[in-house]
Amino acid sequence: MLLLNSIEVKDLTRRFGDFTAVDKISFSVKEGEIFGLLGPNGAGKTTTIKMLTTMLKPTSGKAEVCGYEATADPDSIRSSFGIVFQDPSLDNQLTGYENLDFHARLYGISKERKNPRIKEVLKLVGLENKKSLLVKNYSGGMCRRLEIARGLIHYPKVLFLDEPTLGLDAQARHTIWDYIKKLNQREGITIFLTTHYMEEADFLCQRVAIMDSGKILTLDSPENLKNAIHQDIISLEVSDGQKALETLREFNWIKEAKLHNGFLDLRVESGERKIPLLVALLQKENILITSVNLHRPTLEDVFLSFTGSTIREEEATPLDRARMVIRAQRKG
């Protein structure tokens, strides 16, 4: 095998009693990729991560990370990944440095390499100045960054991020996104993340799998996913709307055309390629174009088209709200 996939999942299933949390899912994640599992709460994302990281045994199916199988070889698999959990997992009574030191020792990092490495990861997440502070005094965003730093100490090939920005404010979220991108580009780490934020999946991931009720509904790059639902809307402000409508009626690549308040809304595929065409066509008919606007579909539209409901309608369980409160209560 020349090109090894970092993560290989085949028919993975986990049942809790009668409830099937993860239902025969299959996918693979390429080396060096940022891969996202997008879906509402209860979709089975965390259960999937737990099976990949040996915290939960699969009911059936196969989960491999870096060529090691989760059930057959838990210790090899454990050394090969780093993980940032959905809920806080730091020791509040220890300082930031001590939390990292604990991790480095547990993962058997040698004495000589330990301190330089801790310095390195602290710098990466911008916490050098806060390392001697007890973690109980950290803000939610700082905890997240410390957890990311911790997950990196033992040079993992794959980093799992379970809802990395849940409950963080916009600024902290963007900081975390920057770190994730930086890690992927500079250190070449494969990143597997779960999220229920559309923007997050869209901004970070090279490929996204949309998951709902334990199943993967579709998997592709955010770009392709959005293109596949043929939902670009081109809005044209024209001098003679009625005439424009007549002119364009004969083209079957226009899925739908609507005229309102002097604006002509056209539903088309790959809108960016249709704009020049439209401009040329209308100019030939001497119709004046005052403005052009292209509305691209979001992953939200993709999710809607696959599940029939928006992700926001499905989210915000009581547990989720409690998490937000807990994080909000942290200082700063």
Partner 1 sequence: MRLISLNVIYTLWLREMKRFLRAKSRIVGSIIQPLFFILILGTGFKSLGRFRGLPLGTDYLSFLVPGIMAMTILFSSMFAGISVLWDRQFGFLKEIMVAPVSRVSLVLGRIAGGMTTAIIQALLIFFISLFFGFRILHLLNLLPAFFIMLLIAVSFVGLGVALASRMEDIHGFQLVMNFIIMPIFFLSGALFPLEGLPGWLAKISYIDPLTYGVDALRGVLVGSFSFSLALDLTILLVFSLLMVAIATYLFNRCEV
- Going across the sheet that includes 19-30, the strands are 19-30, 5-16, 60-65, 68-69
For partner 1, the closer of residues 15 and 181 by Cβ is 15
CA–CA dist 229, 214 (Å, integer): 22
Choice between 48 and 54, CB closer to partner 1: 54
List 7, 43, 83, 209, residue binding partner 1 (CB under 8 A): 83
- Rounded-to-integer distance, Cα 55 and Cα 47, Å: 9
- Contact flag: residue 324 with partner 1 (CB under 8 A): no
Q: Which pair of tokens denotes residue 198?
A: 């559309």
Residue 16 makes contact with partner 1 by CB under 8 A: no
Q: Show the site string, 42-61: x = touches partner 1 by CB under 8 A, - = not.
A: -----------xxxxx----
- Kindly tell me the burial class for residue 75, based on how many C-beta atoms sit within 10 Å of its own C-beta (0-12, 13-18, 19 or more): exposed
Closest separation in Å from C-beta 191 to partner 1: 17
Contact between 98 and partner 1 (CB under 8 A)? yes
The reply on whether position 108 binds partner 1 by CB under 8 A is yes
Which strands make up the sheet holding 263-268, listed edge to edge?
254-260, 263-268, 232-238, 289-295
Distances (CA, A) of 164 to 46, 76, 86, 132, 221: 12, 25, 7, 24, 20
Beta bridge partners of 84: 161
Q: Please count the residues of this chain forming the interface with partner 1, following the rule CB under 8 A.
A: 28
Decide whether 108 or 332 has the Cβ nearer to partner 1.
108
We find the least distance from the C-beta atom of residue 88 to partner 1, in angstroms, to be: 5
By C-beta, is 103 or 226 nearer to partner 1?
103
Q: Which is nearer to partner 1, 132 or 286 (CB)?
A: 132
CB of 158 to partner 1, least distance (A): 12
Helix and strand element counts for the chain (H, E) = 13, 14
93 binds partner 1 (CB under 8 A): yes
Please tell me whether residue 79 binds partner 1 under the rule CB under 8 A: yes
* Single-letter code of the amino acid located at 52: L
Q: How far apart are alpha carbons 80 and 111 in whole angstroms?
A: 20
The interface region with partner 1, picked from 28-36, 106-114, 169-177, 217-225 by CB under 8 A, is 106-114
Q: Is 190 in the site for partner 1 (CB under 8 A)?
A: no
Among 105, 113, 255, 321, binds partner 1 (CB under 8 A): 105
Measured CA to CA, the distance from residue 72 to residue 68 in angstroms comes to: 8
Q: Does 103 bind partner 1 (CB under 8 A)?
A: yes
SS3 label, residue 255? strand
Q: How far is CA 64 from the centre of its chain?
A: 20
Q: Which is nearer to partner 1, 82 or 214 (CB)?
A: 82
Q: Which residues bind to partner 1, rule: CB under 8 A?
A: 53-57, 74-76, 78-79, 83, 85, 87-94, 98, 102-103, 105-108, 150
